[in-house]
Amino acid sequence: MAPPTELLARPERGSAPGSRAMGRLVAVGLLGIALALLGERLLALRNRLKASREVESVDLPHCHLIKGIEAGSEDIDILPNGLAFFSVGLKFPGLHSFAPDKPGGILMMDLKEEKPRARELRISRGFDLASFNPHGISTFIDNDDTVYLFVVNHPEFKNTVEIFKFEEAENSLLHLKTVKHELLPSVNDITAVGPAHFYATNDHYFSDPFLKYLETYLNLHWANVVYYSPNEVKVVAEGFDSANGINISPDDKYIYVADILAHEIHVLEKHTNMNLTQLKVLELDTLVDNLSIDPSSGDIWVGCHPNGQKLFVYDPNNPPSSEVLRIQNILSEKPTVTTVYANNGSVLQGSSVASVYDGKLLIGTLYHRALYCEL
The answer to the question of residue 34 being in a domain is: no
The answer to the question of residue 4 being in a domain is: no
CATH number, domain containing residue 256: 2.120.10.30
Say if residue 238's pLDDT is above 60: yes
Q: Which of 300, 338, 347 is nearest to 320 (CA)?
A: 347
The answer to the question of residue 320 being in a domain is: yes
d(CA 55, CA 59): 12
d(CA 238, CA 208): 19
Say if residue 223's pLDDT is above 80: yes
- pLDDT tens, position by position, 186-207: 999 999 999 999 999 999 999 9
Identify whether the C-beta of residue 142 lies closer than 8 Å to the C-beta of residue 195: yes
> In which band, very low, low, confident or very high, does the pLDDT at 314 lie, cut at 50, 70 and 90?
very high
The answer to the question of residue 272 being in a domain is: yes
Identify whether the C-beta of residue 55 lies closer than 8 Å to the C-beta of residue 344: yes
pLDDT given for residue 7 in this prediction: 37
Say if residue 11's pLDDT is above 50: no
Mean pLDDT of 255-280: 98
Say if residue 2's pLDDT is above 50: no
Quote the distance between the C-alpha of residue 265 and its chain's center. Answer: 13
Alpha-carbon distance values, 225 to 154, 198, 258, 265, 313 (Å): 18, 10, 11, 13, 28
- pLDDT tens, position by position, 20-79: 777 776 766 666 676 666 777 789 999 999 999 999 999 999 999 999 999 999 999 999
pLDDT given for residue 246 in this prediction: 98
pLDDT given for residue 93 in this prediction: 86
The answer to the question of residue 29 being in a domain is: no
- pLDDT tens, position by position, 119-161: 999 999 999 999 999 999 999 999 999 999 999 999 999 999 9
The answer to the question of residue 368 being in a domain is: yes
The answer to the question of residue 283 being in a domain is: yes
The answer to the question of residue 10 being in a domain is: no
**Domain enclosing residue 312, as ranges:** 44-374
d(CA 118, CA 307): 29
| Catalytic residue selected from 62, 96, 135, 175 | 135
d(CA 37, CA 104): 40
Alpha-carbon distance values, 69 to 83, 117, 237 (Å): 17, 10, 34
- Helix (H) or strand (E) run with residue 26 in it: helix 4-48
Kindly give the residue spans of alpha helices, DSSP state H, lying in 150-273: 209-218
Q: Which of 78, 144, 167 is nearest to 355 (CA)?
A: 78
pLDDT given for residue 19 in this prediction: 75
Within 10 Å of residue 177's Cβ, how many Cβ atoms?
15
Identify whether the C-beta of residue 95 lies closer than 8 Å to the C-beta of residue 72: no
Count of domains forming the chain? 1
Say if residue 3's pLDDT is above 80: no
Annotation says 135 is catalytic = yes
Coil, strand or helix at 134 = strand
DSSP state of 368: S
pTM for the full predicted model = 0.91
d(CA 106, CA 297): 27
- pLDDT tens, position by position, 269-284: 999 999 999 999 999 9
- Helix (H) or strand (E) run with residue 17 in it: helix 4-48
Q: Letter for the amino acid at 125?
A: R
For the annotated binding site for Ca(2+), the residues are 74-75, 137, 188-189, 244, 289-290
- pLDDT tens, position by position, 100-126: 999 999 999 999 999 999 999 999 999
